[in-house]
Structure 1
Amino acid sequence: MKKNIKLILGAGAAALIAVSIGAAPASAHVPKSVRGNVVLTANLTELNDSGASGKAIAVVRGETIRAIGIRATGLSANAPHAQHIHYGEEAMNECPTLTLDTNGDQRLNTVEGIPAYGPVVVSLNTSGDTTPASFLDVTRFPVSKNGSYSYLRTNIRFTDVAGTGDDGGNGTAADIAEAIRDGEGVVVIHGVDYNGNGMYDFEAGNSELDGTLPAEATDPAACGVLD
Structure 2
Amino acid sequence: MAVPTLALGALAISGSPAMAADQSYQTTLGQLNGSSASGTVTVDVTGNQAHVVLNVFGLAATFMDAPYPHVQHIHGGAKGMCPDPSADTNGDQVINTTEGAPAYGGIVTTLSTSGDTSPAAGLDLKVAGQGATYTIDRTFELNAETKAALEAGTAVVVVHGLDPATLSPAAQAAKSDLVPELPLAATSPALCGTLTAGQMKMPAGGAATGIPQETGTDTGALAVGSGMALVALAGGAYVVRRRNAAA
Which letter does structure 2 place at the counterpart of 1:149?
A: Y
- Which position in structure 1 is the counterpart of 2:54? 70
Q: 1:142 aligned to 2:111? A: no
Give the Å deviation of 1:136. 0.3
Give the Å deviation of 1:44. 0.2
Match 2:75 to one of 82, 86, 90: 86
Give the Å deviation of 1:63. 3.7
Q: 1:177 aligned to 2:147? A: yes
From the two aligned structures, give the one with the greater helix fraction: 2
Match 1:110 to one of 91, 94, 97: 97
The ranges of structure 1 where at least 4 consecutive aligned residues each deviate by more than 4 angstroms after the TM superposition are none
Q: Secondary structure at the match of 1:180?
A: helix
Asked if the contact 2:109–2:146 (Cα under 8 Å) also holds between the matched residues in 1, the reply is no
Question: Structure 1 length as normaliser, TM-score?
Answer: 0.70
Give the Å deviation of 1:176. 3.9
* Inter-partner Cα distance in structure 1 for 2:156 and 2:182: 24
Identity of aligned residues (%): 42
Give the Å deviation of 1:42. 0.5
Structure showing greater radius of gyration is: 2
* Inter-partner Cα distance in structure 1 for 2:146 and 2:110: 14
Provide structure 1 residue ranges, at least 5 long, that are not aligned to the other structure: 1-13, 16-33, 159-172
Q: 1:60 aligned to 2:29? A: no
Which letter does structure 2 place at the counterpart of 1:72?
A: V
* Higher relative contact order structure (alpha carbons within 8 Å, sequence separation ≥ 6): 2
From the two aligned structures, give the one with the greater strand fraction: 1
* Inter-partner Cα distance in structure 1 for 2:152 and 2:163: 34
Give the Å deviation of 1:214. 1.3
Q: 1:37 aligned to 2:22? A: yes
Provide structure 2 residue ranges, at least 5 long, that are not aligned to the other structure: 1-16, 62-66, 197-247
Residues 176, 110 of structure 1: alpha-carbon distance in 2 compared, 3 angstrom cutoff: same
Q: Secondary structure at the match of 1:217?
A: helix
* Inter-partner Cα distance in structure 2 for 1:38 and 1:74: 29
Asked if the contact 1:194–1:204 (Cα under 8 Å) also holds between the matched residues in 2, the reply is no
Question: Structure 2 length as normaliser, TM-score?
Answer: 0.65
Give the Å deviation of 1:62. 4.0
